Structure 1
């Protein structure tokens, strides 16, 4: 299936620490989070990507136009370092469409803008391009396919560090809990859609507002709960957390490096 990645947002909460880069181009280790997400999908055989570009689209285009495979692949130099032999190809079998979807467009309008690249697709994948997971993707796809629904998204525990407060009469605190110890789940920004999703999106609408409400009323939206690893990168602190995991060699989202994402 084709994979639509939303790469055009301003990333305002991360901008001060990103050097002005668009959020998908902020690094985890030596590679942008966008690359990590694309590697995740490619691991499961989904290698046709549509990048919905907006803010600083040139940074994303130039990354791939000047892609250096040596940073993520073993290689051998020979003939006085004039000849390089890569031990494995990194992205040579990927197909990437770079689509200008507007500087200030919302997610719904970015998705509408790339409809022409999905006309022959019965189903497609989509992602906010700002979070990583070790979700067994084929299992989610199989569940969605059997459901017959039009849309599906991953439901996860928040990765942010905050506390949930419960008040009772006169604003007296009844309870306070760390969010990951509660039953709160959020939209993890990882989607599967059938092509019929486009019937539910009108001009100017945000994807998860009006279109999703229409799907809900018709019982056509599936929430796929996943309680294992998921982590977003909305803030500098979250970027640091992901880099710390990567540097410790504990990066669960790197499913392409071994049997870390077993299908059950």
Structure 2
């Protein structure tokens, strides 16, 4: 089963770093967040990736093209030009990287991958990590039998929630999870038929296609009560980096 990762956005809300490299290549613990996401899927036996590149996508291609070399012992005969990889510690991943356009929208990027998606596939964003049980998510999707499943999460709230009756407060909750609401956390499972919902490169996956699937009763919701974090701002990056450096990263489900 293929894992499709949206990795082409401009990352304007973290432009302090994304002007130098694509947001999925921003690092946590010396590794791109994209690598962390792929490790999470790999822990569940999902190792066939399709990365949808856009903004500075060449940096993603260069990273993974050289990844095996960086994680290997090599032998080079400068006289003959012979080059051999003696052994390596790289993950057994197959990675297809597609140039989907600098300004293409999320739905348009997904449509670009249509030739590679002839069976059920996973889909997620290249800037979000989670400890979601992907094996359980897949089982849920197949049991529900709908065209798509979205993982709903309740990220840590940033503000206290006040319950109000007239001018009197009747309750207060300090930073409730998700500010008391569920949001899309990515980590989708999709059937190829969802691609028919995409009109062209300007289609935004989260608007037309997802809305249509929901209205048609074809979108299942998998509620994840565990950790989820997105690298949307520099504050988010600092938070995730802190968890990793203190050996408290919940998304590290691999050994």
Q: Secondary structure at the match of 2:214?
A: helix
Deviates more, 1:160-169 or 1:237-246: 160-169
Q: Secondary structure of 2:185's partner?
A: strand
Partner of 1:3: 3
1:126 aligns with 2:90: no
Aligned to 1:38: 38
Which residue is 1:239 aligned to?
Answer: 237
Partner of 1:100: 99
Residue aligned with 2:136, SS: helix
Matched residues in 1 for 2:104 and 2:160: separation?
A: 32
Displaced runs of 4+ in structure 1, greater than 3 A?
Answer: 162-170, 172-177
Pick closer, same or farther for the CA change 1:192–1:85 going to 2, 3 Å: same
Q: Return the alpha-carbon distance in structure 2 between the equivalents of residues 183 and 256 of structure 1.
A: 30
TM-score calculated relative to the size of structure 2: 0.86
Residue pairs, 1:51-66, within 5 angstroms? 51-66=51-66
TM-score, scaled to structure 1: 0.83
Q: C-alpha distance in 1, partners of 2:22/2:170? A: 41
- Distance in 1 (CA, whole Å) between partners of 2:24 and 2:39 is 13
Structure 2 residue 131 is the aligned partner of structure 1 residue 144: no
1:254 corresponds to which residue?
Answer: 252
Secondary structure of the corresponding residue to residue 243 of structure 1: helix
Cα RMSD for the two superposed structures: 2.6
Distance 2:206 2:27 in 1: 27
Alignment CA distance shift 1:48-1:152 (3 Å): same
Report the count of equivalent residues. Answer: 244
SS at match of 1:63: helix
| CA deviation after TM superposition for structure 1 residue 48, in Å | 0.8
